[in-house]
């Protein structure tokens, strides 16, 4: 079991509203929006490889499995602080470089030079797509637009799409809204940019906090499980009070989402069945 990480940050000033998703099958989905880091792409293995290579260059041994998750969770903490404190919008890569520099300072004997720091931070733009991601996105885009609704900026998402072969129709998300999730503008601007009602949009995520906010803005929702997101650690069905589960994949639906799927192909099958009037 991977040990827990302390990812405490000031609580967001935003809370999910009452779920307003339309009843399943009552509104045709015109666009699928995707959380990307962890949902579309695997961060754990690329981060672990990068950190292992760094440890080898510096001649030390480190628990790179734990550090890979710490690197990811540092990003979550930084974005949460950014939103909670109402800070001016900054390119995400700047936050990611700062997170990485702090992680290296705490766990490695030598700091990274500017060029090495930027190159290693760019690992965020070279993540591995989950095996079902490209075929699943291709199947879904037969009937609807597919787009990342990510905290990654336009340049981050474009580079990641080129690296992983992601067949996006358009990019929405943080750069469009000039905010980071869970700020309402991230969700609302995405729908408006495509001239759609939020009810015509479906938010897809492996992290259910994202779905709670999307549902509060009237979007349909799809919870997709990523059991290997954190290298295999998974949350139990019943969470214990006071336990930090930020190191473990979400495997159990917390609400009555529009779809609950094992991967993108399963989601596409469910959507196809719903369109054909064969609800599953």
Structural domain boundaries of the chain?
31-42+128-275, 44-125
CATH number of 31-42+128-275: 3.40.50.1000
Residue 12's pLDDT is 64
Whole-number Å distance between alpha carbons of 2 and 181: 27
Q: Is the pLDDT of residue 4 over 50?
A: no
Q: What is the pLDDT of residue 149?
A: 98
Residues of 219-251 as b/e, b for ≥16 C-beta within 10 angstroms?
bbbbbbbbeebbbebbbeeeeeeeeeebbbbbe
245 token code pair:
């589960």
pLDDT of 279 > 70? The answer is no
pLDDT above 90 coverage of the chain, percent: 88
> CATH topology of 31-42+128-275 equal to that of 44-125?
no
How much is the average pLDDT of 148-156?
97
Residue 39 · residue 226 · CB < 8 Å: yes
Q: In this structure, which topology does domain 44-125 adopt according to CATH?
A: DNA polymerase; domain 1 (1.10.150)
The average pLDDT across 209-228 equals 98
């Amino acid at each position: 079991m991977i040990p827990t990480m302390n990812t405490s940050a000031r609580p967001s000033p935003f809370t999910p509203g009452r779920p307003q998703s339309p009843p399943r099958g009552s509104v045709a989905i015109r666009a699928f929006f995707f959380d990307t880091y962890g949902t579309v792409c695997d961060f754990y293995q690329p981060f672990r490889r990068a950190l292992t290579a760094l440890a080898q260059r510096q001649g030390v041994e480190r628990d790179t499995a734990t550090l890979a998750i710490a690197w990811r969770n540092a990003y979550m903490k930084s974005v949460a602080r950014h939103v909670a404190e109402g800070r001016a919008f900054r390119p995400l890569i700047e936050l990611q470089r700062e997170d990485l520099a702090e992680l290296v300072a705490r766990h490695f004997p030598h700091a990274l030079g500017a060029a090495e720091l930027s190159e290693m931070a760019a690992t965020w733009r070279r993540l591995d797509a989950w095996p079902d991601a490209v075929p699943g996105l291709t199947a879904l885009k037969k009937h609807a637009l597919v787009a990342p609704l990510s905290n990654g900026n336009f340049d981050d998402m474009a580079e990641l799409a080129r690296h992983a072969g992601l067949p996006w129709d358009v990019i929405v998300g943080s750069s469009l809204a000039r905010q980071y999730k869970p700020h309402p503008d991230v969700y609302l601007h995405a729908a408006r940019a495509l001239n759609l009602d939020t009810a015509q949009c479906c938010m897809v995520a492996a992290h259910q906090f994202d779905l709670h906010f999307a549902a509060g803005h009237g979007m349909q929702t799809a919870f997709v499980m990523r059991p290997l997101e954190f290298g295999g650690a998974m949350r139990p069905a019943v969470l214990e009070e006071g336990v930090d589960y930020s190191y473990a994949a979400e495997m159990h639906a917390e609400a009555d989402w529009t779809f609950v799927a094992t991967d993108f192909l399963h989601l596409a099958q469910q959507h196809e069945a719903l369109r054909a009037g064969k609800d599953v």
